[in-house]
Amino acid sequence: MIIAIDGPAGSGKTSIAKRLAKKLNMFYLDTGGTYRALTLKALEGDLDLKDEVALQAIAKNLNLKIEQDRIYLDGRDVSEKIRAPFIDKNISKIVSYPKVREAMVSLQRRMAESGDFVVEGRDITTVVFPQSKFKFYLDAEFAVRVQRRFKELENKGVQIDFEELTDDLKRRDEADINREVGALKQSPDAVYIDSTNLSLDEAAEKIVGYIRN
> Would you place residue 183 in the very low, low, confident or very high pLDDT band (cuts 50, 70, 90)?
confident
> Would you place residue 72 in the very low, low, confident or very high pLDDT band (cuts 50, 70, 90)?
very high
Convert the pLDDT of each residue in 127-146 to its tens digit: 999 999 999 999 999 999 99
> Would you place residue 172 in the very low, low, confident or very high pLDDT band (cuts 50, 70, 90)?
confident
Averaged over 104-110, what is the pLDDT? 93
Residue 50 forms part of a structural domain: yes
Say what percent of the chain tops pLDDT 70.
100
Residue 213 forms part of a structural domain: no
Number of domains in the chain: 1
Residue 186 forms part of a structural domain: yes
Averaged over 200-206, what is the pLDDT? 93
- Which residue segment(s) compose the domain that 52 sits in? 2-208
Q: Give the per-residue pLDDT at 124.
A: 93
Helix or strand holding residue 65 (H, E)? strand 64-67
User: Rounded CA gap, 197 and 31, in Å?
Assistant: 25
Instruction: State the CATH number of the domain containing residue 96.
Output: 3.40.50.300
